[in-house]
Structure 1
Amino acid sequence: MVLRSAVRFLRLGLLAAVPGLMAACASTGGGKPSAPVNALYAELDQASKGYEVALQQSHAGDAEASQLTLTRSLDQLKEASARCGNTPGCDPQRFFSVFDRLLRLKDGDFGDGTDLNSDVDPSQAALAAGKTGAASLPAAQRSVTLLHGQKLSELIAMNGPVKAALEMWLTQWRPQLMDAYVNYQYLRYQMWPQYQKADLPEALLFGIMAKESGGKVHAVSRSGAAGPLQFMYATGMRFGLGMDNGFDTRFDPQASARANAEYLNEQLQIFNNNLELTIGAYNGGEGRMRRLVGDDTSVSFYDPRIYNQLSQETRDYVPAVLAAAWLFLHPDSYNLRFPRVDGVPGSITLQRPTSLSELTVCLGSADGMSDGWFRTLRNLNPRLDPQVTQPAGVQLQLPKPLEKAYASRCVDGPWPILAHDLHSAVVPVVDAPPSPPPAPVVRRDRSYKVRRGDTLVSIVRNLHCSSVQEVAEMNGLKHHHIAIGQVLKLPVCQ
């Protein structure tokens, strides 16, 4: 009972601290943490380690010591999180990340049924669903993520394929994962509300986008799927995506997120909220998945009757999406740190004619973007050809921090002149030299004496380079008739 009360006390304490933590987040600077902030972080680490010690004590059979250690750790975490809201420079995401990790530890059995992951308070569920301002919190602060009332953590089976996909995202696919995260943060204000309205978790949106396009709005696959969420043309049309004044709205982040959310909810209803089957249908086709599943929507995606009938692409796709979603929720648990991105949207009105390409050169590495802003500018202005000069007065979408950079770098001075000079460069067109005439084919012949059992067809077949018609013409044969002992001229094959 003491343990259960402590867990509830911690939950309520964190919820009460949310307004203060949000205020602290708004005032957090980019400098080094102050001494008071470092002291709070040290308490956070100590509380987290204390929870793990309590687990070890419980598994060793020392219930009394485990109970005491757990109570102290939870109290320490609650008190430190409350003080974070009143400490300038304190990053609340650290506290929510730790609480998130503790909530999802699967071996949190302390002997009396207490488990930090055992239930969800209604107030916490509302916070997670974004009904009390959680949409403005960093991703790691949404410690409980729901899918139609079910915890996403319980829908993602941490099995072999998902673990293998986690390793891939953390190794070979890591650059794509990091690029996808950065791209998504700038697109989030357009895409996340569409999922939020559909009662779908943001982590799922990120997982699909990371696997499908890496957050590249103009991505097109070899099969013709297009956009950040890779809709096929016919499927896109079914959900309201099509041509709008010559623009394919599959490339529109907001429209594609809305269509994707509608598609997933349709399939979730068909497959009785079976997330893996739904994701498999998105990649491999809903018709095929329905035929395989039949009426048994409780069947596992990994059941051999399903899994063995799917393409290798779909077998890999489902765990990859789930693993990316899991990392979005639990980066700290996998020694992963996503970059801090200020994705607040902004806009500028062009003061001089320019193209997106010129603007990229002019902005350079403003606001610390070492890779440049070309991808972000394209993503936020998907209807514009990046090479076409836009007239003065046109409004462009870009991240809020770039508004000042545009005014200081791209209105006057050397950089817009340089960008225009590079963009206006004329590349000479050189006519290709005429191709030399093909060398004449020198045909060499050889002799062949017809043997018993030969036919003209069998002789030509053994040549591997000629035809019955050619050999017949070379020898003046009528009706392809040959006789034993007859000497034929045959082409020499190279």
Structure 2
Amino acid sequence: MDSGKEPDLIRIGMILIAGFVCLQLSSCATTPKAKTLTKVVRVPETIQPSTTYSEPSDAFLAQPDKGVNPSVLSQEQVQVQSNSMVPETSMTESTSSGPAIVEETEEGEEEADSEEEITYDVPIVLNESVEAHMEYFQTVIRDRFELWLSRSGRYIPLMKEIFKSYGLPEDLVFVALIESGFNPIAYSRAKAVGPWQFIKGTGRKYGLRIDEWIDERRDPIKSTIAAAKYLRDLYNMFGSWPLALASYNAGEGKVMRAMARTRSDDFWDLRSTRYLRRETKNYVPKFMAATIIAKNPEKYGFKLDLWEPLQFDEVVIESPTDLRVIAQAAGVTYQGLKDLNPELRSTITPLNYRDYILKLPYGTKQTFLENFATIPPEKRMIQLRHRIRKGETLSTLARRYGTSVQAIRELNGLGKAYAIRQGNYLLIPMSSKVAARQERQERKELSTTITPTLSEDEPGLKKIVYKVRRGDTLWRISKYFNVPISKIRKWNGMHHTSKLRAGERLVLYLKAEES
């Protein structure tokens, strides 16, 4: 080669290389921020991206595991070694700061094309902890996880619509996957209930009714609305989905204290400290692992038989009614009706709940309305919870409530030799006609035991002196007069251990129209 031309060739080569690099950088710089990322990026612990995720619409951020070792999966009590993971696709990661740039090898082109079809609207990281959970789902609890994924087909369409209506990322529905496996009647040792595993306090805070007749934490629609509100509040509080999810598991107070002690607002930083419980440290990686698999289950070897999406009709039940009567009128099975209404804790629609909206199997509404209209009210059997008083027997209860001894035995699972005891409770089946008569009689008796006077202690309210009758409870009195039990205790200087006695007089303060 001519030595005089060699410098020119070198310069030309350098110019071409520089032009190629500039073209690549220009392409990266002009790419707009997207709401979703079309692939999951494997992030080794040596890469330290500098970008942070702040808004739901920001581009996906691949964050490192900050040097945390593969964790013990505390919720499943199984330890998975992440160093045995085999990547699904061969990738080469950029080691520069900022978002990792990924190039697929020729061997992985088919996988890459498939992966590009998968999008995420929450930040998803693929690190050792996430891979450990993915391996756990694919091996240790494979059959169970496959059932959860199959069951998800019943609930995900409705849940996504609800999250969309609240302006939330739809991928958050997979929180229910790791919380309960989309099981409406799931119950934890911590007494969390339903697909979203609400405890009583949080459920009631977000509008769910929980009592002896109904537990709306089990309602897949009402509980999803509550979960959407809660997750929205958590994101508004922390500005980060990883932190919001950690708070969903641990409670916002614990996450706030961990942030204050570490002076960090990054989940992966908090995860490397002792200020979060192991379960919470694993919760976010567990969610990410479940989401990755759920969005592309075939890739990870799951053959699903998806359940049919939830479809139903709705009817208004004006007064407490036996579900078996409703099932018969609709031409469906009692169990099928119960499955559609998992929030119901008894065999009747809830007491003290007028115009209850009941779900019926899709396409049965007209049949139900036609048949139900022909059923006399006295045959629309309902049940009441009755506390046994001294001298009462099954026979006297049956006569009082217009039912039979056998019906009471069957409803309560009582053998023929069982003797009822004073103070115990029984569920009593009775007609709505008898129930209405009983309610009128109780209201009449209550009205004869009150003495209204003007109130000086509570301006704007009328003072009432109520004489306690045999069998009265604070709950019953509070429901009748529509006042909180705490107020009754306060007005009468009662402690939580105080008991009512027949003949005792209670002071109540009511609105004029209610008195």
TM-score by length of 1: 0.44
More strand by share: 2
TM-score by length of 2: 0.42
